[in-house]
Amino acid sequence: MSEPLPLSIQNNRRMDKWLRFDPDRTLHLAVGKVEIGQGVLIALSQIAAEELDIDVARVNILSGDTADAPDEGSTSSSQSIEVSGRSVRLVSAELRQRVLARLAQRLNCSPEDITVEDGAFLLDAQPTGHDYWSFASDADFAADIEGTATPKPASQYTIVGQPVPRKDLIAKVSGAAFIHDIVRPDMLHARVVRQPSRNATLTSLDEAAIRRAAHGSFKVIRLGNFAAFVSTDETVVQRAAVAALTHARWDGARTLTADQQDAAWFVGQPCDDRFVGDPVTPPGGGTVVSATYSRPYVSHAAMAPSCGLAEFRDGHLSVWSHTQGVYPLRNSIADILGLTREQVTVRHAHGAGCYGHNGADDAALDAAIIAQQLPGHCIRVQWRREEEFGYEPISTAHRTRIAVELDSAGRPIDWTTEVWAGPHVQRPIFGGVMLAHEALPNPPAPARAGDPPEANGGGGTRNGTPLYDFPHKRIVHHLSLATPIRTSSLRGLGALPNVFAMECFMDELAERAGMDPVAYRLSLLSDSRARHLIENVAARCDWANRGPVGTGKGLGLAWSRYKNKAAYACVAVELEVDRNIRLTRVWCAADAGLVINPDGAKNQLEGGIIHAASMTLKEAVTFEGSGISSLDWASYPIMTFSEVPEIFTEIVHAPDLPTLGMGECTFGPTAAAIANAVAHALGVRVRDMPLTRERIASVLAGA
The pLDDT tens digits of the residues spanning 438-465 come to 999 989 888 777 888 888 888 999 999 9
* Beta carbons within 8 Å of 442's beta carbon, 6+ residues apart: none
Mean pLDDT for the chain?
Answer: 93
Over residues 423-434, the mean pLDDT reads 80
- What pLDDT was estimated at residue 77? 62
604-631: pLDDT as tens digits? 999 999 999 999 999 999 999 889 999 9
Strands 316-321 and 271-277 come out as unpaired
Domains of the chain: 7-165 (3.30.365.10), 179-253+306-382 (3.30.365.10), 398-702 (3.30.365.10)
340-370: pLDDT as tens digits? 999 999 999 999 877 888 999 999 999 999 9
Distance between CA atoms of residues 490 and 452, nearest Å = 13
Phi, psi of 179 (to 5 degrees): -60, -30
- Is pLDDT of 2 > 70? no
Distance between CA atoms of residues 608 and 616, nearest Å = 12
- DSSP run (H or E) holding 46: helix 40-52
Distance between CA atoms of residues 7 and 329, nearest Å = 19
Distance between CA atoms of residues 695 and 686, nearest Å = 8
Tell me the CB-side half-sphere exposure of residue 621, using CA atoms within 13 A. Answer: 31
Q: Which of 230-234, 267-271, 569-573 has the lowest mean pLDDT?
A: 267-271
Among 32, 8, 46, 5, CA closest to 597: 46
261-282: pLDDT as tens digits? 999 999 999 999 999 999 987 7
- For residues 554 and 570, is the Cβ–Cβ distance under 8 A? no
Q: How confident is the model at residue 703 (pLDDT cuts 50, 70, 90)?
A: low
* Beta carbons within 8 Å of 85's beta carbon, 6+ residues apart: 43, 44, 47, 596, 659
- DSSP run (H or E) holding 697: helix 693-702
Distance between CA atoms of residues 486 and 524, nearest Å = 39
Distance between CA atoms of residues 348 and 369, nearest Å = 18
23-76: pLDDT as tens digits? 999 999 999 888 887 788 999 999 999 999 999 999 999 999 999 999 887 777
- What pLDDT was estimated at residue 1? 43
